[in-house]
Every structure is written in C-alpha cells, then in structure tokens.
Amino acid sequence: MGRVVSHMGSETVDSTAIERAVAERTDAPTGGETESLDVRELGPPEPLRKTLERIEALPEEGVLLQYNDRSPKFLFPRLDERGFAYAAVETDATDAVVTAIWPDGSEGVES
C-alpha cells in the first residue's frame, strides 16, 4: 500500500499539527500511539536501518512517522516484505518527506 500524498502547506508548523495532517492525508490508524523518527541528518544506510528497527516494536495500532530529506524509496520494498503499510507526505512545514508507517495486519502488502 505505498503512495506519496499531495504536498502539505507550510501552515502546519508544530509536530502535533504535522502528525494530525499526515493522519488526515493517509490511511494510517489514529487510535494508537504515534512515534517520530527524524533521519534527515543521517547518512545511508542508517535511515533504513533505524526505521526497520523501530517498526519491529510498533504496537498493532501504532504509527511511526519517519522524517527524511527525500522519499525513502529503498525503504518501501522492505516495508512491503514485512507487511507494513505506508504513505509518504511531502511537506514545506519541516522541509521533509514524512512517511507514516503502520502494521498492515496482512501478509504481502501490495504497492
């Protein structure tokens, strides 16, 4: 279930507002805990490694918001393999691509 959602405007400036905007623009669950992971300052392969480590501990209704300086295209196949759904949202608010990642609950998520 991968996709890149439309551009978020710069009116969203704080992390709570960004999380709310991402939830509104994606199919990510809203009833659970939301965790953030900012990998913009990390060089490869650290963003991929840290994200994969963090998703393994996500609760069923949990969502990980990964902040990256670009679309994490090498992460998406790994998420598909592991049964996680995701949606990337480009935003001016943080000069980042915010990727919401959550357990899909089924095997073999399709892109």
User: What mean pLDDT comes out for the span 37-60?
Assistant: 95
81, 87 Cβ separation under 8 angstroms: no
> Is residue 108 domain-resident?
no
The span from the CA of 27 to the CA of 101, in Å, is: 10
> Is residue 86 domain-resident?
yes
The span from the CA of 75 to the CA of 66, in Å, is: 11
23, 98 Cβ separation under 8 angstroms: no
Global model pTM greater than 0.85:
no
Domain of 89, in residue numbers = 4-103
User: pLDDT of 17-31, one tens digit each?
Assistant: 777 777 788 888 888
> Is residue 68 domain-resident?
yes
> Is residue 26 domain-resident?
yes
> Is residue 55 domain-resident?
yes
Number of domains in the chain: 1
Return the minimum-mean-pLDDT range out of 44-58, 74-88, 89-103: 89-103
